[in-house]
Amino acid sequence: MTKKQIKVMDTSFRDGFQSVYGARVFTKDFLPALQAAVAAGLKHFEVGGGARFQSPIFYCNENAFDMMDTIRKTVGPDINLQTLARGVNVVGLDSQPRDVINLHAKMFKKHGMTTIRNFDALNDVNNLIYSGQCIVDNGLKHEVTITMMELPIGCKGAHDVEFYERVLRSILDAGIPFTSLAFKDASGTSAPQKVYETIKRTREILGSEAHIRFHSHETAGTGLLAYRAALDGGADGIDLSMKPVSGGTAQPDIVSMWHALKGTDYDLGIDIEKILETEEIFKECMKDYFLPPEALAVNPVIISSPLPGGALTANTQMMRDNGTMDRFPEVVAAMKEVVEKGGFATSVTPVSQFYFQQAYANVMFGAWKKITEGYGKMVLGYFGKTPCTPDSEVIKEASAQLGLQPTTETVLDLNDKDPKKGIEPAKKMLADAGLEQTEENIFIAAACKEKGIAFLQGKGTIGVRKNEPAKAESAAVTCSNTEGCTVSVNGKKYAVKLQNGKAVVNGKEYTVDIKDGIEESTANSGSNAEGTAVKAPMPGAVLRILKNVGDSVEENEEILVMEAMKMETPIKSPVAGTITSLSVSQGDKVQTGQVMATVG
């Protein structure tokens, strides 16, 4: 009997990186493994989109479009290179207007991509219609996607077989053009029997010729079983990864899946010896990267608090950056209530980030004391229609805190009217920064905002975690180079040069005074002769400074904006007065309680 040939997409170089390293990987480091994978016979790779557009810019100081070009050059013209798009959000957490959505497809085609997997975390088909048409119109293959998860224990109302059938029929009724259809379970929590029944029913509806794929993670420990269930239900393709970015929070390993299918009617069509050789090359490529212990773990708690692999390690990396990793178990536990009250949108980016941000805020500030912008806008309808109606009290609190009324207007229409979104505002950001208005730069500005502009200005920072070799305890910190030194503080690099009694740090001049010994600092006192201190409420980074020294402010007027966990937090003046000092600059990392400004 002829075995069914299963089409494998290797996700190592996108979802594997996102799930294990928080997407923080330098392009040059993984190219030998990619070359080896192609030589081993793999022909379909996920290599970009998702967090692997913003993360190269935010953490690797690399242009994501250059990364795509390099990958295409490495694999040759015939390999199917796939990226991930978040419907109207394309590759960011925030949604976009029509012109940016179309520019996304145009640029990804220009830079060598073949296929775009396109999903909406709310399973609101209205968010897939225009984005899907743009993908096809720009000459790319469109893999339309239905997102899956298991509801927290004891919850009902969505995410069953009947729900997924309704979404599928809505896609068909909308006439969305697609080459293939995927079911994407980013948290890896869907019960295998539900996977089987969902794909079996989909096959019955679409017929024998449609290409159906299934995507999951091993986070909850059921990935291999869910993949077998998908194949038994009629799936044609599955997503697999390679060591060291397989299992745990990532996709099941290709070798493990090959082994699990021994003696069955399914054949992955791979040369297992060459794959094993490729995994050894890949492990050598990544040997210096910090491997978070949670990335390799099966975590049954995720079944009740669905958190995708790609969001889990991305957020734990940021919690390490911010010094709050000790609160991670509390945040995961808080996810359950956040999902329950949020309307059961699928826990996949951007919604998984909204869930995590709100859970993080509930832990750090107290339950529902701070409604985060993404979560609040979601429950108010600004990202589309959630599968179920969110909790009425949460809607009320979100409306009050954000100053927004609930809406049923389509996301595209809302964004087209927003004067801060679109190609023209992006062009203005580039012009104000003195940057060239190429289409690539326009898209980076639109998708990455201030961080994208800083990157294009040459002010990008490095946030890649690698294992540092042990240093001798007696090693002294010295700087003998007359041209200056590179000083690393918590992983952030500063170019420092001392001259004429001043310090020039990353091109900005500061007056310094150096004395022997350590004097007790008064920097963290709540108030002093100069006025009242404005302190950081949590660890994070300074995203924008809105006021200058000498400016007048009213009580509760915004002075600056911090970013933590991809979440913007306005910092307001506790009193009316005048800004007498600013002790931070844009991009600076701050800790809880650190004084950032003084109002006198």
In a 10 Å sphere around its CB, with 0-12 CB exposed, 13-18 middle and 19+ buried, how is residue 516 labelled?
exposed
Looking at residue 508, its pLDDT comes to 61
Model confidence at 474, pLDDT cuts 50, 70, 90, reads very low
Taking residues 160-175, what's their average pLDDT?
98
**Of residues 140, 153, 145, the one with CA closest to residue 191:** 153
Looking at residue 481, its pLDDT comes to 60
Query: Containing H/E element for 335?
Result: helix 328-341
Task: Give the chain's domains with CATH numbers.
Answer: 4-402 (3.20.20.70), 468-514 (no CATH), 527-599 (2.40.50.100)
Give the span between the Cα atoms of 417 and 294, in whole angstroms: 42
Contact 358, 371 (CB under 8 A): yes
pLDDT, tens digit, 9 for 90 and up, residues 214-260: 999 999 999 999 999 999 999 999 999 999 999 999 999 999 999 99
Contact 444, 452 (CB under 8 A): yes
Contact 8, 40 (CB under 8 A): no
pLDDT, tens digit, 9 for 90 and up, residues 411-460: 999 999 999 999 999 999 999 999 999 999 999 999 999 999 999 999 99
**Of residues 524, 581, 513, the one with CA closest to residue 553:** 581
Model confidence at 589, pLDDT cuts 50, 70, 90, reads confident
The token pair that represents 237 in the structure block: 């393709």
CA–CA distances in Å: residue 69 to residues 74, 84, 435, 513: 9, 16, 22, 48
Check whether the bond before 244 is cis (ω within 30° of 0).
yes
pLDDT, tens digit, 9 for 90 and up, residues 493-528: 666 777 666 676 655 666 666 655 545 444 443 444
* Residue 487: pLDDT over 80: no
| Mean pLDDT for all residues in the chain | 90
Contact 433, 456 (CB under 8 A): yes
Contact 388, 164 (CB under 8 A): no
Q: What percent of the chain has a predicted confidence (pLDDT) above 90?
A: 72
C-alpha angle 562-48-313 in degrees, rounded to nearest 5: 50
C-alpha angle 393-398-404 in degrees, rounded to nearest 5: 125
> Dihedral of CA 15/21/27/29: which sign?
negative
Taking residues 266-295, what's their average pLDDT?
95
CA–CA distances in Å: residue 208 to residues 27, 44, 490: 39, 22, 55
First CA to last CA across the chain, in angstroms?
84
* Residue 32: pLDDT over 90: yes
Residue type, 501: G
Taking residues 591-598, what's their average pLDDT?
88
Looking at residue 516, its pLDDT comes to 57
* 348/261: higher pLDDT: 261
Looking at residue 588, its pLDDT comes to 86
What's the pTM value of the predicted model, to 2 decimals? 0.84
Looking at residue 521, its pLDDT comes to 43
In the β-sheet with 531-535, what is the strand arrangement from edge to edge?
A: 527-528, 531-535, 595-599, 577-582, 552-553
The token pair that represents 291 in the structure block: 């491997």
The token pair that represents 162 in the structure block: 């009947």
Residue reference for tokens 């002093």: 528
**Of residues 56, 46, 49, 45, the one with CA closest to residue 21:** 56
Query: Containing H/E element for 390?
Result: none
pLDDT, tens digit, 9 for 90 and up, residues 103-152: 999 999 999 999 999 999 999 999 999 999 999 999 999 999 999 999 98
The token pair that represents 369 in the structure block: 């004391």
Residue type, 121: A
Taking residues 317-335, what's their average pLDDT?
84
In a 10 Å sphere around its CB, with 0-12 CB exposed, 13-18 middle and 19+ buried, how is residue 555 labelled?
exposed
DSSP 41: T
Give the span between the Cα atoms of 423 and 484, in whole angstroms: 40
C-alpha angle 591-593-595 in degrees, rounded to nearest 5: 90
DSSP 248: T
Give the span between the Cα atoms of 34 and 45, in whole angstroms: 9
Query: Containing H/E element for 358?
Result: helix 351-365
Model confidence at 296, pLDDT cuts 50, 70, 90, reads confident
